[in-house]
Amino acid sequence: MKKALTSGLVLLILGVVCGTILGVVNYYTAPIIEARENEEKYAALVEMGIVVADYDNITEKADFTNGIEKAIYLRQGTDLKIAVYTVVGSGYSADLKLLIVVDETMTVLGYSVLSHKETAGIGADVLATHDYNMVGAVLPDLTSFDAVSSPTAPLTNAGVRNCFELVAAQAAMDFGGAN
């Protein structure tokens, strides 16, 4: 009995010492890891020329039911300035996922294709190279949407358009029907 207690005590002391040391290391490394992870997370925004550090309140929302997978809201104080939507639309082969950035005036600041399973050489090429002429468009107006110059992939184009429509509806709610 005494031996078992002694062994338990030895392991307990060792556990406490090791736990403390790990806590100290974690105290110094965790902020560095978190900063880097945020940097990676918002890399798409940085590519679109958004300076993440300009916004003091960044929140995420994921409980949508309207095709929006996730939204990141960038606020200055309480004012919502930019919304970044990850949206899923129906492509030719499967769903395609887009990242669409909209500012407070409902202007599309940029978009990028996050993932798709379109046909290589047809829909995939269109997504990789075609400019849908939506940067600068003010939602919900989609008249500038250019699907004409990529007629080989009508369903892919329809999927992309669908993404912008979903984002237009959500952005109207988020920005309080601005425009």
Partner 1 sequence: MTARENFFKGFVKDNPLFVQVLGTCPALAITQTLENAIGMGVALLFVCVFSNLLVSLVTFKPKIRALVMPVRIPVYIVLIASLVVIVEMVMNAFVPVLFKTLGVFIPLIVVNCIIFGRAEAYAGDHKPVESMIDGAGMAIGYTLAIMIISLVREILGAGTITIWGTLQLDLNFIYDFLGTEPIGMFLQPVGAFFTFGFILAVIAAMENQKKAKATNAVAKEGVK
Single residue of 11, 62, 94, 128 touching partner 1 by CB under 8 A:
11
Instruction: Tell me: does residue 7 bind partner 1 (CB under 8 A).
Output: yes
- Whichever of 38 and 105 has its CB closer to partner 1, that residue is 38
Judged by CB under 8 A, the residue of 5, 32, 53, 173 near partner 1 is 32
Is 66 a binder of partner 1 (CB under 8 A)? no
Ramachandran class of 67: left when φ > 0, alpha when ψ lies in -120 to 50, beta otherwise: left
Binding residue for partner 1, selected from 1, 2, 15, 70, defined by CB under 8 A: 15
CA torsion sign for 86, 113, 35, 26 is: positive
Cβ neighbors of 143 (< 8 A, separation 6 or more) are none
Q: What is the DSSP string of 20-40?
A: HHHHHHHHHHHHHHHHHHHHH
- DSSP E strands in the chain: the ranges are 57-61, 68-76, 79-90, 95-103, 108-115
With respect to partner 1, which residue has the nearer C-beta, 9 or 94? 9
38 binds partner 1 (CB under 8 A): no
16 binds partner 1 (CB under 8 A): no
Q: Which of 21, 43, 94, 128 binds partner 1 (CB under 8 A)?
A: 21
And the tokens for 90? 């129906």
Minimum Å gap between C-beta 21 and partner 1 is: 7
| Inter-residue contact 138 to 115 (CB < 8 Å) | no
116 to 145, contacts with partner 1 by CB under 8 A? Answer: none
The tally of CA atoms less than 13 A away on the side-chain side of residue 102 is: 32
Provide the binding-site residues for partner 1, judged by CB under 8 A.
3, 6-7, 10-11, 14-15, 18, 21-22, 25-26, 28-30, 32-33, 36
